[in-house]
Structure 1
Amino acid sequence: MANDPLSLDEIVRRVDVKAADYCALSDRIWAMPELAFDEHRSVAEHIAMLEREGFHITTTVGGIATAFIAEFGEGSPIIGILGEYDALPDLAQVSGATEPRATEPGPGDGCGHSLVGSGSALAAAALKDALATERIEGTVRFYGCPAEEAGGG
């Protein structure tokens, strides 16, 4: 395996190539806010995206139905990236607003977890591609974390 350092420019290029798909993922998660430990559709969206990227998926991690691990590669180092996707009660926001503007009361991603999950998945996918292309040994793990604020998932 190569021991050359992977350039930041190469990873950024890989992020740019995939950005539109992951922005769309974020938009889908935003549009279907799910509260702590009930993020089933959000998890399915993340898993589908990461499976297309070639990650191996382990579901129901720690006995939690909405926790999962997506893994690619083998060996060291193991690079872990955490993604969140839960909505919070009473944080529904108007999409595209530049100032806080609530919609009808209800759950929402006003705290940005739709961005955290999709952005972290994008980082994992871009890093995975770079490691594979450069033949650099290592494991990339995406930890799908439910109930990040409201339940300690």
Structure 2
Amino acid sequence: MIRGKAVVFGDNVDTDVIIPARYLTSTDPKELGKHCMEGLDPHFPQRITPGATILVAGKNFGCGSSREHAPLALKGCGVSAVVAASFARIFFRNAINIGLPILESEEAARGIREGDMVSIDLARGEIRNETTGEIFWARPFPPFLQEIIAAGGLMNLVEKRVKG
């Protein structure tokens, strides 16, 4: 179960907004996280409670370039999960590969407001707005994707399996 306060953005949040190109010299998630979303909200990293913030957005979240830095920046600044009406496909896969839980639900994206307390059950695809009592649904992750997310990303899962 993931639980956190909602921080809300609109449609078409692209990877250049999530992490501006001038910071792509680093692959350190914590360093990237310091600059996450600074084009839209320069104080975004300070608004995050690590492990207790859920980013909610509209359509086409993560559009733009295919850089893995974007989900790394979100994870590095402490975002627990992203709920959006829709995701750019490459962002979706990059997020899974680094272990950042993301869920697609147009209803949740419309029904969750800034500051609402949200809980997510990844196995069931349930997104609960604890502030209003509303329940929204996303397609639950299949077991192999749940395993990647639980391991903290694809490389962590591979390393775990290799070490036995």
| Bigger share in helix | 1
* TM-score above 0.5: no
Bigger Rg, structure 1 or 2: 1
TM-score by length of 2: 0.28
Higher relative contact order (CA 8 A, sep 6+): 1
